[in-house]
Amino acid sequence: MSTPADKPDRPRRFFRMRLWLLLRALERFETTMFLRTRYSQPKMVAIGVVGSFCLAVYYPVWAYLFPQPYENLPMRLVCSATFIPLALLPWWPRRLRTHLPTYWYFAMTVAMPFFVGYMTLRNATPPWLMTHLACVMLLMMLFDIASFLVVFSIGSLLAALVFVLSPEAHLQTQTMLEYVPLLLFGMVGGATCTVSSNMAEQSRIDALTAASNNIAHELRTPLGSLRIAARAVARFMPDLIRSHRLAEREGLPVPEVRAQSLHALERSIGVMEREVTYANTIIDMLLLSARPIGEVPLSPLMARECVEQALRRFPYGSRAERERITLSPVGDFPLLGEEALVVHILFNLLRNALFHTDRAGKGEIQVFIEPGETTNRIRVYDTGPGIPPDVVPRIFNRFYSYASDSEGTGTVTGLGIGLAFCRAAMEHMGGGIACRTNLGEFTEFTLTFPHPEPGDRQ
């Protein structure tokens, strides 16, 4: 039952929720902008060259060869110039590439729905009507439905506004009315066909899930057999080594084995155990990533216990890797979550930090547990190479994977599901994940957890 003190907070909570939903919608649209830009990026140079060339060259075609009622060379040249930066994309400096999605949408809006729409309104001739319809179909191939509607609506509204403000502009009402049904048919048909891109994305997710499950089940049995064999060898290896040394002292004809080789045999047992543990951990992570997050129940936990378990269970490649990670000696807080999810999130962050610090040949990793007044936090901080600024906004996108090599170019190093899963898992637990970095200096991931209310359990 709500108390009188809770009533003043209800409007505040309502508006905070609406603001959060609005920000999430904007974030999803921005993510969609990036994804569509990324898919179109291999063709951007060609689009830039063709767009800038055609817009300029078609002026004499429509002005002299097949004269149209209206032409505008300055507007055509300005729109042609918007394609030139796309043609020069390979020479963009890294700091500008973070603005590529915004410029891509701007160029497409100006060149297609605005320019072509305005010229179609001014001419209303069959060549321009066909050009406008072709531009609509091209836009639907380059963008998803939501992005297409935004680009097409903004460009068309600007074209209509400039048309209305243009002197001596006369609308061919009958021709445009006859064109509207054809335009609507093209848009509806194009929207129906773009479902194939969503199907391709879903099929990719389904294929990844099926592959994860198949790999997990197929590898469990041989890994279990390998673990049993390793333990058997570990059990009897000391006796065999002692027997060999005793036979050597007694002068028996046994093959000579160097002391270094015997030490290598002893160490190999630990290596086998560690590799089996690592493989099983990867399988657990794949299975957990394939499972729908919404089906994972939540219960009260303690942050330090989860972090310590993650540090204890993580499959380190060597003792040196473990020694590079330090945990803050103080700090703890309760949270509402799932232990496997929290451990899995920390596994992803630790694995990424170790991978990048290994590649850079430098860096230490620190884990902090920080209770706060409004939210509680777990921070994973490393003094490795950092992340380029144009990459940071995309690292939580599904299927996006990036690592900077020594030349500063992009190299895909994974499936790109780790950090995307971390964000989904944190949102399921009512929290969030954020990244703060400075290229060449540090990278810090912050996990935020809300204060659990008394009696909370999902």
In a domain, 421, yes or no: yes
CB atoms within 10 A of CB 111: 24
CA-based nearest residue to 316, from 358, 351, 356: 351
CB atoms within 10 A of CB 34: 19
Convert the pLDDT of each residue in 267-284 to its tens digit: 777 777 767 776 776 676
| 348 and 260 belong to one structural domain | no
| 217 and 74 belong to one structural domain | no
| 111 and 163 belong to one structural domain | yes
| 164 and 216 belong to one structural domain | no
| pLDDT higher at 401 or 141 | 141
| 225 and 186 belong to one structural domain | no
In a domain, 37, yes or no: yes
Report pLDDT for 203.
Answer: 61
In a domain, 457, yes or no: no
Please list, residue by residue across 149-159, b when 16 or more beta carbons sit within 10 angstroms of its beta carbon and e when fewer do.
ebbbebbbebb
Domain boundary among 290, 319, 347: 290
| 42 and 143 belong to one structural domain | yes
| 325 and 420 belong to one structural domain | yes
Structural domain of 12: 8-193
Host H or E run for residue 449: strand 442-450
CATH number of the domain bearing residue 354: 3.30.565.10
Average pLDDT over residues 146-160: 90
Report pLDDT for 407.
Answer: 39
Residue 411 has pLDDT above 60, yes or no: no
| 279 and 161 belong to one structural domain | no
Read off the pTM: 0.55
> Strands 432-438 and 299-302: what pairing?
unpaired
**In this prediction, what percent of the chain has a pLDDT beyond 70?**
76
| 111 and 217 belong to one structural domain | no
| 171 and 138 belong to one structural domain | yes
Average pLDDT over residues 337-356: 87
Average pLDDT over residues 314-330: 84
| 250 and 268 belong to one structural domain | yes
Chain CA centroid to CA 244, Å: 56
In a domain, 2, yes or no: no
| 319 and 350 belong to one structural domain | yes
Q: How confident is the model at residue 85 (pLDDT cuts 50, 70, 90)?
A: very high
